[in-house]
Amino acid sequence: MASIERTSTGQHRLALLVLLKCYQRLGYFPNLTTVPGDVVGFVCSQLGLAESVAAEHDAPRTVTCCRAAARANIALCSR
């Protein structure tokens, strides 16, 4: 997924993938603060990031971009 490769920090990469996986399983984007720590920890380990990296966005625009990227990826996978 090109959007993942373009993210500038591990924090943003983690947030994007957590949103993607939640959307795939739940059908909606939850607030990142409500995602269980075990889920975030698992995705973090799969990315090879330190456990101290948090799945957070630093600006509302980042949330919008991450959600759009996740939707685009899901649309590509379902074709």
Instruction: Tell me the one-letter amino acid at 38.
Output: D
The confidence band for 72, taking pLDDT boundaries of 50, 70 and 90, is confident
pLDDT of residue 39: 92
Q: Which residue has the higher pLDDT, 16 or 79?
A: 16
Question: What is the per-residue pLDDT across 37-59, written as a single tens digit (0 to 9) for each?
Answer: 999 999 999 989 888 888 876 66
Using CA atoms of 58, 24, 76, 65 in order, give the dihedral in degrees to the nearest 10.
-10
> What is the domain extent for residue 51?
2-77
How many distinct structural domains can be found in the chain? 1
Q: For residue 19, what are the CA distances in angstroms to 3, 37, 63, 65?
A: 13, 13, 9, 11
Enter the pTM of the model. Answer: 0.73
Which own/partner pairs from 1-7 qualify as long-range (CB within 8 Å, at least 24 positions apart)? Answer: 1/69, 1/73, 3/66, 3/69, 3/72, 3/73, 4/69
